[in-house]
Structure 1
Amino acid sequence: MTDAEIDTTVPPSGTGCVECDEAGGWWVHLRRCAACGHVGCCDSSLAKHATAHFHATGHRYIQSFEPGEDWFWDYVAEELVDGPPLAPPTSHPDTQPAPGPRGRVPLDWRARLEQP
């Protein structure tokens, strides 16, 4: 990892997936870009905005944005990697459920994820 690939000073873009929030959508889990702070939804989510952000920007490292998790993923090497502490906050609020956000997750969310 180089300083150009990770910015430990940039805060996260918010408490939820940027694109899902704009569209009124929902997510399963959240991931934070280690280069620019963009918060996107994980690949278990319908929209997979964190991976889309990687493809659009080339920012290869993400960190889990879930409470109690601090792992990093390298999209290029397709493996877990160690990374430095990022600027706070390091997760969405503990009061925000996963999937989330509260009030936007459909009751049949599991069935929707299983659809082809």
Structure 2
Amino acid sequence: MTLDAEVAHVTVRVGLNGQVPRCQHLDLLVAVKHGLPECKQCLALGWVWARLLVCLSCGWVACSDDSPGGHAKGHYEETDHPVVAELDPGSTWRWCYVHGRTV
């Protein structure tokens, strides 16, 4: 189903039962090897992170937004690499910074 917003001249695609459309940024990802399980910026500052995230575009590892530095988001702002995943064995959590949601 396609909804047309006449005022904004934008077409929004809506999935079944109100589901959001698939994030197209996932289709652009290739397999990357991630770095060491540490946030280098936090280590340099003597900070402790809450969670580590890995950039799925380049493999850069950095702390999450709920950490004091929020360095993963900073990496996105510098590089425009849109999708990160939690660096935790067995986790399937992924976040798209462009869409501002889990994917």
TM-score where L is the length of structure 2: 0.68
Secondary structure at the counterpart of residue 62 of structure 1: strand
Aligned residue number for residue 16 of structure 1:
38
Aligned match for 1:60, one of 82, 94, 102: 82
Please tell me the residue identity of whatever aligns with 1:7. V
SS class of match (1:32) = strand
User: Which has the higher relative contact order, 1 or 2, with Cα contacts under 8 A spaced 6 or more apart?
Assistant: 1
Size of the alignment, in residue pairs? 78
8 Å contact kept, 1:31–1:41: yes
Q: Tell me the SS of whatever aligns to 2:65.
A: coil
Give the 4+ runs in structure 1 shifted more than 4 A: none
TM-score after normalising by structure 1 = 0.61
Q: Find the partner of 1:7 among 30, 33, 36.
A: 30
Q: Which residue of 2 aligns with 1:28?
A: 50
Q: Does 1:71 align with 2:93?
A: yes
CA contact (8 A) 1:18 1:38 kept: no
SS at match of 1:70: coil
Segments of 5+ residues of structure 2 without an aligned counterpart are 1-24
Q: CA RMSD in A?
A: 1.4
Equivalent AA in structure 1 for residue 63 of structure 2: C
Gaps of 5+ in 1: 82-116
| Partner Cα separation in structure 2 for residue 7 and residue 39 of structure 1 | 16
CA displacement, residues 64-105 of structure 1 (integer Å, 9 cap, x when unaligned): 112331221100111111xxxxxxxxxxxxxxxxxxxxxxxx
Q: Which residue of 1 aligns with 2:68?
A: 46
More helix by share: 2
Residue 85 of structure 1 corresponds to: none
